[in-house]
């Protein structure tokens, strides 16, 4: 049997491509060696955001004047709920794939040549191949038995002392969540600041919140070794030793490009990633690579986007990626979200002047619009509760070439944090109402 497309990996990249190709009537084979939904649905985006929701709910309820703060958390019971929720999501994805005729094979896909692969004993022939094998956490020699994202998200108890090696978005998101759940958290970061990918102005409120939560941040510090005998001892290069009940190692992720016969295709690489053109095509015209394996940013919505473009091209359309309006989100408290790029004008509206933020007892942050000399929106940033939900309006403006005035003249519902986006847009060409 010859398939129009074989897809290795069923994360946001692989399963989205399978559904799209199925919708176009193509004969699709989707191969997964672990769980449908990949890292994102099972061990990444979804469980981490569930944990963050839990931590925020408990934290804000406890901190609300008049609330009775004495309630307990049974993390074990919560984990059972979490896996039920994830199973609901992943079985929904599986059902959807099957409803579009996608054939799912469980096992490790091994590429044989540019038109054949095998899973266990069976060989499959394909017209096109999509490599969507994702990424894995970077490990460090000499740091024994730490937790990675999968294990920390599956803890059955809140650790009393948690050391996090790596101050990127995963470390800071989870560090803040565990601090709210009661852990004494220390983050060790090799560089001189945390969250290095984001504008320092946007990170400042996060540093303030981390301080309020007593999270220790040790920047310009490297971990020399980690030993475990009962408790963990984390030795820093400056000789300091941190004691911990759990240690999370999260110093980046590397694309999965080995162990499945990729080398047989002799594809051009781009550093550790598979090199693709704007059609998501590799150096072989019938082989595509999407998601984490195909380059930065390693984000689920980038994988979904790549998947659509690759599928369109397999179906004969001429589709190219354009990451100009890519949203980036850090799910801290407040959330940080940004998109596009800065230009000649930048506005800044404080969330302290927003009614809805006040009702949430959460006013740390600001909303920014970036515009060119003609007032066309080139980007923006939101540091506020639900920034992750608000950034799409700014991405849409960038994508569509809208003027700041288009946002400013749009009626936004009251009371919402989204009014902050309107007010920041108004600041580009006039005055906001509430500042
Ligand atoms: P993956 O999701 O990694 O899926 C790849 C799949 O391929 C896996 O299921 C793997 O088992 C399978 N596979 C690999 N090799 C083979 C083989 N040879 N045969 C068969 N199957 C194979 N991104 C966001 O956008 N928002 C977030 O909030 C967010 N939070 C995150 C939190 C954490 C803790 C982590 C670790 C990541 C987070 N990410 C987030 C990143 C996101 O998870 C990834 O960008 C996304 O999963 C990439 O999708 P993908 O399809 O490229 O690969």
Q: Residue range 244-257: average pLDDT?
A: 97
How far does the centroid of ligand 1 lie from the alpha carbon of residue 38, in Å?
5
Interstrand relation of 122-131 and 135-137 (parallel, antiparallel or unpaired): unpaired
pLDDT band for position 65 (cuts 50, 70, 90): confident
> 69 pLDDT exceeds 80?
no
> 1 pLDDT exceeds 80?
no
pLDDT band for position 19 (cuts 50, 70, 90): very high
pLDDT at 164: 98
Q: In a mutational test of the pocket of ligand 1, which residue from 15, 19, 45, 339 has the highest number of ligand atoms less than 8 Å from its CB?
A: 45
- Report the atom number in ligand 1 closest to the C-alpha of 260: 18
Answer whether 130's CB lies under 8 Å from 281's CB. no
Question: Does 171 contact ligand 1 (Cβ within 6 A)?
Answer: no
pLDDT at 340: 98
Q: State the residue for tokens 């408990």.
A: 58
Q: Give the span between the Cα atoms of 255 and 212, in whole angstroms.
A: 36
pLDDT at 251: 96
In the chain, % of residues over pLDDT 70: 100
Residue 236: CB atoms within 10 A of its CB come to 15
Residue 101 CB burial class (10 angstroms; 0-12, 13-18, ≥19): middle
Q: Residue range 157-181: average pLDDT?
A: 98
How far does the centroid of ligand 1 lie from the alpha carbon of residue 40, in Å?
5
Q: State the residue for tokens 């004494």.
A: 184
414 as an active site residue: the answer is: yes
pLDDT at 422: 98
> 3 pLDDT exceeds 80?
yes
> 144 pLDDT exceeds 80?
no
Q: Residue range 29-56: average pLDDT?
A: 98
Q: Residue range 297-304: average pLDDT?
A: 98
- Interface pTM, i.e. ipTM: 0.99
Annotated catalytic residue: which of 24, 386, 412, 414?
414
pLDDT band for position 145 (cuts 50, 70, 90): confident
Q: Residue range 157-185: average pLDDT?
A: 98
């Amino acid at each position: 049997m010859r398939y129009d497309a074989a897809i290795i990996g069923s994360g946001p990249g692989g399963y989205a491509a399978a559904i799209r190709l199925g919708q176009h009537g193509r004969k699709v084979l989707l191969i997964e060696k672990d769980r449908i939904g990949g890292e994102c649905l099972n061990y990444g985006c979804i469980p981490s955001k569930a944990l963050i929701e839990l931590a925020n709910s408990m934290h804000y309820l406890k901190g609300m004047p008049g609330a009775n703060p004495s309630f307990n958390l049974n993390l074990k019971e919560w984990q059972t709920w979490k896996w039920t929720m994830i199973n609901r999501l992943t079985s929904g994805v599986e059902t959807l794939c099957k409803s579009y005729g996608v054939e799912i094979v469980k096992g490790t896909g091994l590429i044989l040549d540019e038109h054949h692969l095998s899973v266990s004993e069976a060989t499959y022939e394909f017209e096109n191949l999509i490599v969507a094998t994702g990424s894995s956490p970077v490990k460090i020699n000499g740091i024994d038995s730490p937790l990675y994202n999968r294990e920390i998200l599956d803890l059955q108890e809140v650790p009393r002392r948690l050391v996090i090696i790596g101050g990127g978005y995963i470390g800071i998101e989870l560090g803040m969540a565990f601090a709210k759940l009661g852990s004494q958290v220390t983050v060790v970061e090799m560089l001189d600041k945390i969250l290095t990918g984001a504008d320092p102005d946007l990170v400042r409120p996060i540093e303030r919140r981390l301080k309020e939560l007593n999270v220790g941040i040790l920047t310009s510090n490297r971990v020399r070794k980690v030993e475990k005998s009962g408790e963990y001892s984390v030795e820093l290069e400056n000789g300091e030793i941190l004691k911990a009940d759990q240690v999370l190692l999260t110093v980046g992720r590397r694309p999965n490009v080995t162990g499945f016969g990729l080398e047989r295709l002799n594809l051009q690489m781009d550093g550790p990633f598979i090199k693709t053109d704007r059609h998501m095509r590799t150096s072989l015209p019938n082989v595509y690579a999407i998601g984490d394996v195909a380059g930065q940013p390693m984000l689920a919505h980038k994988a979904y986007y790549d998947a659509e473009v690759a599928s369109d091209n397999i179906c004969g359309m001429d589709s190219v990626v354009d990451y100009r309006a890519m949203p980036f989100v850090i799910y801290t408290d407040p959330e940080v979200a940004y998109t596009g790029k800065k230009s000649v004008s930048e506005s800044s509206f404080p969330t302290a002047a927003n009614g809805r933020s006040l009702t949430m007892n959460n006013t740390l942050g600001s909303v920014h619009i970036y515009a060119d000399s003609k007032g066309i929106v080139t980007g923006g940033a939101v540091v506020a509760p639900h920034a992750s939900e608000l950034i799409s309006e700014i991405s849409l403006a960038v994508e569509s070439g809208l003027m700041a005035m288009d946002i400013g003249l749009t009626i936004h519902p009251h009371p919402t944090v989204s009014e902050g986006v309107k007010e920041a847009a108004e600041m580009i060409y006039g005055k906001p109402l509430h500042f």
